[in-house]
Amino acid sequence: MLGALGNLACLDEATGKVIWSRNILAENGASVPTYGIAASPLVFDDRIVVLSGAGNGHSILCYDKNDGRPIWNALDDKIGYMTPALITLDGERQIIVSLEKRTVGLKPDDGQLLWEYPWQVLNHQMPIAQPILLSSNRFMLAAGYFTGCAAVQVTHKGSAWNAETVWRNKNLKNKFSSSVIWQNHVYGLDEDILTCVDAATGERRWKGGRYGYGQLLVADGHLIILSGEGDLVLVEARPQEFRELSRFHAIEGKTWNYPALAAGKLLVRNGAEMACFEIAK
């Protein structure tokens, strides 16, 4: 677990006993970001990757998940709030993360920089929304504050990597809600309006339905949206037209939290309430 003030800890799942802990900000001389550490740890193999924004080669950190031992550190960039992601691009597994002025791909083994793509959120804001994998070597970035979205293609020959723009426009502006992809179309909140974009061309297919600054999942050809006001909404994930199927008020209060779907149950929460709904057929 990683707290907003930089406390990184490994707990015993049965007892909650602390196995190891360290503060990634204090030990690297980093200050707490404006909204605290919001990027989640990336856990894979025997490793944990986190963002500190400390600079001096320690903005991105990798630890052994078993004992908390440092493995590698990388880059000098100021961090945002996007969680590092482990994806495969052009046949090679890599860590992708959006920073203040660029999105980068790093080697998981040692943090070596493979490629970079210039990407900066306008109005002095920081990246929040997660990149969306579009194909075996393409991903999409999106940000609010009039920034827009871009599809990026990553290729390599030997050790030489290249990241270039496939398309870029303002058809989808994710403020802090990440988009989803279903059957070659991207669905996401353009600020607060649900929008469908063709993944290959960036063309907007439709735009409709205001859901505040909520969050969404895709499941079985449907979009499950938890609105910023606590409404649960079901929308068809189809590019031909916007069609809202059902809607009800699920929880009270401002709701900026992701829903979670498991074993036919949908869990929703905010700072005031939590609820669980049976949605299995």
In this predicted model, what pLDDT tens digit does every residue of 244-262 receive, in sequence order?
999 999 999 999 999 999 9
Adjacent-strand bridge partners of 116? 104
- CA distances from residue 268 to 174, 210, 250, 272 in whole angstroms, order as listed: 21, 19, 8, 11
What average pLDDT is seen over the chain? 96
- Overall average pLDDT of the 184-200 stretch: 97
List pLDDT tens digits, range 227-239. 999 999 999 999 9
Whole-number Å distance between alpha carbons of 255 and 247: 15
The pLDDT of residue 279: 85
Whole-number Å distance between alpha carbons of 113 and 151: 20
Whether the per-residue pLDDT at 280 is higher than 90: the answer is no
Whole-number Å distance between alpha carbons of 143 and 176: 8
Whole-number Å distance between alpha carbons of 163 and 166: 10
277 pLDDT band, cuts 50/70/90, is very high
Cα three-residue angle 244-173-124, rounded to 5 degrees: 150
List pLDDT tens digits, range 138-185. 999 999 999 999 999 999 999 999 999 999 999 999 998 999 999 999
List pLDDT tens digits, range 126-140. 999 999 999 999 999
Whole-number Å distance between alpha carbons of 272 and 255: 9
Domains along the sequence of the chain with CATH: 204-281 (2.40.10)
Whether the per-residue pLDDT at 275 is higher than 70: the answer is yes
279: Cα separation from own chain's centroid? 25
Whole-number Å distance between alpha carbons of 214 and 257: 7
The pLDDT of residue 208: 94
Whole-number Å distance between alpha carbons of 96 and 84: 6
Q: Which residues of 158-176 are buried (b: 16+ CB within 10 A; e: fewer)?
A: eeebebeebbeeebbbbbb
Whether the per-residue pLDDT at 281 is higher than 70: the answer is no
Name the residue among 114, 126, 125 with its Cα closest to residue 75.
114
- Overall average pLDDT of the 183-200 stretch: 97
Cα three-residue angle 250-252-258, rounded to 5 degrees: 65
201 pLDDT band, cuts 50/70/90, is very high
208: Cα separation from own chain's centroid? 23
Adjacent-strand bridge partners of 197? 186, 204
Pair 258, 267: CB distance under 8 Å:
no
List pLDDT tens digits, range 44-101. 999 999 999 999 999 999 999 999 999 999 999 999 999 999 999 999 999 999 999 9
Checking DSSP bridges between strand 18-23 and strand 42-44, what pairing results, if any? unpaired
Q: 209: Cβ–Cβ under 8 A, 6 or more apart, which residues?
A: 193, 194, 233, 235, 242, 244
